[in-house]
Amino acid sequence: MRSTTPPATLAALAAASVSLAHPVPQGPGTITDRVHYCQPGEDGQLTGGMVLLEVPADAPGQAPRGGAPVTTILDNGPSANRIDITFVGDGYRLADLPIYHAHVASQYAELFELEPFITYAPYFNVHRVDVVSNESGVDNDPTQGVSRDTALDMAFWCGGTERLLCVNVNKARTQANAAPGRDQVVAIANSTKYGGAGYTSSDLATASGGNAAAAQVYIHELGHSLGNLADEYTYGGPTTYTGGEFSDPNASIFDATEQSTLQIKWHEWIGESFAGFDGIVSAFEGCHYSTFGAYRPSSNSMMRNLGRPFNMPSAEALVIEFYKTVSPIDDASPTGELYEGHHASMSVTPMQPAGHNLDVQWFIDDEPAAGQTDPTLEVCQLQLQPGTYIVRAEVTDNTSWVRNENARAEFMRDHRTYVLAIATQPGDRDADGDTDFDDVIDFLVDFDAQDASADLAPPAGVFDFSDVLEFLARFASPCG
Ligand SMILES: [Zn+2]
């Protein structure tokens, strides 16, 4: 039987985290976060590990807005329905801000050169907050004991680990709140030293702005902080992992045969290979800091090595995470719930990834309306009899990059619902149940009396031939 006790080294790392270079507030209002620190080792392979750190629990809306100047460097739409990545800098004096701007520019640009971020780039906004520090550089750089007065208290040697680049989470969040819609925060240190951290639960990553590998390290850390992904490299843990199954979507104690038999983890991806991703997917032994007893989905993905693509199970996890922030329906009109009449028109605006459209289906009383798969529904086309109907638009991202249908249904599908009230058939002006010559008479009487009900065409208040034509069009064809 597999033990659920954490590996000894991890427990030791967690214990080591008690002594922080810059202690963060402890006690009520804190959570224990899994913080990854990963960077290229001397052989170029990724190395690092994970520690458990006490960090302040997030308190949305409580941190004050306003503060340092904000520049939105990638604007893809309203923050309410986008993943807003906000960069904050530490150890940049006013005179260093041009360096900070260059560091941020190189980091975020590289992110959108890698799938699934290329395809889903329209789901992201990127903001830069120009935080100014009193001194240039961060603590313990290049060596332990170096102390600097900076805005976010960033420091190497966090918890005794040289490459673990920590930040005061509260200060980073407060500064990030100057930008709209904070979802992911990236704290950039003014340094050239290798280092970084991915705070899994805090949606926060740190990076060393001037390091050549910084952008790749940051993408890897985003795999942790945004995708909740595990490291797939084998350094830093026990040689053989003997603990329980991992919660991470890209690490398992089960090999390919066991996964297929048990129908768990990435069994749906085994044998698959997609362009732009690390394949072929199987279960490769060596993952989560151990050489044996833990499996990864592909040979050499971004979660194992820098400059590599993500593998499919990781990409699937990322896309699902995108949809935990972004609704597939970006906008809808009308906004009210009750809508009346044959000439009603309703529409949804689906999100638009690069390369594929989301699928739209309209439903009438829970039945799919045949052929109604456009973003706009013209009610007249349905030729509905008088009555009250529940009209629903459903928008789904059916990307083949996601095979977890439960997650698709829960996160990647959204709907808008209207109550549609139809009093009469099209053209049935006198509402006697038939569209006939009586309706023509009814219109002409109202037209002659200059009744508002006969003022069908602009300009308003003018009763002319255009109103007659409009009536005849509706009479002849409900969608005319
Ligand atoms: Zn990592």
List pLDDT tens digits, range 143-184: 999 999 999 999 999 989 999 999 999 999 999 999 999 999
Query: Separation of 226 CA from ligand 1 center, angstroms?
Result: 12
The candidate with the shortest Cα–Cα distance to 2, out of 297, 296, 293, is: 293
The candidate with the shortest Cα–Cα distance to 117, out of 321, 412, 405, 349, is: 321
Query: Separation of 152 CA from ligand 1 center, angstroms?
Result: 22
Token pair of 249, please?
Answer: 């979507």
Q: Tell me how crowded residue 179 is: count the other CB atoms within 10 A of its CB.
A: 25
Query: Separation of 430 CA from ligand 1 center, angstroms?
Result: 71
Query: Separation of 234 CA from ligand 1 center, angstroms?
Result: 11
Query: Separation of 306 CA from ligand 1 center, angstroms?
Result: 10
Query: Separation of 36 CA from ligand 1 center, angstroms?
Result: 5
- pLDDT digits 0-9 by tens, 55-93: 888 765 444 555 789 999 999 999 999 999 999 999 999
Which residues partner with 413 through β-bridges? 396
Query: Separation of 314 CA from ligand 1 center, angstroms?
Result: 13
In the chain, which residues have pLDDT < 50?
A: 1-26, 61-63, 480
Pairing verdict, β 182-189 and 83-90: parallel
Bond preceding residue 280 cis, omega within 30 of 0? yes
- pLDDT of 17 reads 32
- pLDDT of 164 reads 93
Query: Separation of 199 CA from ligand 1 center, angstroms?
Result: 10
Query: Separation of 305 CA from ligand 1 center, angstroms?
Result: 9
105 vs 94: CA distance, rounded Å: 18
DSSP string spanning 74-120? E--S-GGGSEEEEEEEES--GGGHHHHHHHHHHHHHHHTTSTTTTTT
Query: Separation of 233 CA from ligand 1 center, angstroms?
Result: 8
Query: Separation of 22 CA from ligand 1 center, angstroms?
Result: 22
DSSP state of 311: B
Query: Separation of 177 CA from ligand 1 center, angstroms?
Result: 26
Query: Separation of 248 CA from ligand 1 center, angstroms?
Result: 12
- pLDDT of 66 reads 56
Query: Separation of 217 CA from ligand 1 center, angstroms?
Result: 8
Domains and CATH numbers, the chain: 8-225 (3.40.390.10), 328-422 (2.60.40), 437-476 (no CATH)
Query: Separation of 292 CA from ligand 1 center, angstroms?
Result: 18
Query: Separation of 207 CA from ligand 1 center, angstroms?
Result: 12
Asked if 248 contacts 224 with a C-beta cutoff of 8 angstroms, the reply is: no
The candidate with the shortest Cα–Cα distance to 468, out of 460, 456, 452, 459, is: 456
Query: Separation of 269 CA from ligand 1 center, angstroms?
Result: 22
Token pair of 254, please?
Answer: 């089960």
| Strand, helix or coil for residue 177 | coil
Query: Separation of 8 CA from ligand 1 center, angstroms?
Result: 19
| Strand, helix or coil for residue 324 | helix
Query: Separation of 223 CA from ligand 1 center, angstroms?
Result: 8
